[in-house]
Amino acid sequence: DAKTTQPPSMDCAEGRAANLPCNHSTISGNEYVYWYRQIHSQGPQYIIHGLKNNETNEMASLIITEDRKSSTLILPHATLRDTAVYYCIAYHYGQNFVFGPGTRLSVLP
């Protein structure tokens, strides 16, 4: 079973920030938080990952709470091409990589 829970769906207006929450209250101290997304039936695409500190790259920002029980993926300026299913995963090397059902993000014009 997935160690994370996410809302099943969210809407966001084009050009606005999309904030996708993830709950991982049972995460272990050595498990990283990963975010992937999948557009239609394409292979999932890596977005970002982090352990304790907030992370930012060219695609998104990852905000992890101090107690590490939850995190938020931020797409700063959502576009229609960001419409996808977003997966939050808690993982440490050597474990099974478990995708949950994810959040279906719809970016609306």
Determine the longest span between alpha carbons in the chain, in angstroms: 42
- In the bound state with other proteins, the residue whose beta carbon lies nearer, of 16 and 92, is 92
Residues 6 or more apart in contact with residue 99 via CB below 8 angstroms? 2, 36, 44, 87, 89
- In the bound state with other proteins, the residue whose beta carbon lies nearer, of 34 and 78, is 34
Question: Is 43 a residue that touches other proteins (CB under 8 A)?
Answer: yes
Question: Is 35 a residue that touches other proteins (CB under 8 A)?
Answer: no
Least separation in angstroms between CB 93 and other proteins:
5
Least separation in angstroms between CB 68 and other proteins:
14
**Structure tokens of 55?**
């992370």
When binding is defined by CB under 8 A, the residue of 7, 54, 97, 108 that contacts other proteins is 97
- Side by side, which strands form the sheet with 55-56? 18-23, 70-75, 61-64, 55-56
Query: How many chain residues interact with other proteins (CB under 8 A)?
Result: 24
Question: Is 41 a residue that touches other proteins (CB under 8 A)?
Answer: yes
Least separation in angstroms between CB 100 and other proteins:
6
Q: Is the Cβ–Cβ distance between 103 and 6 less than 8 Å? A: yes
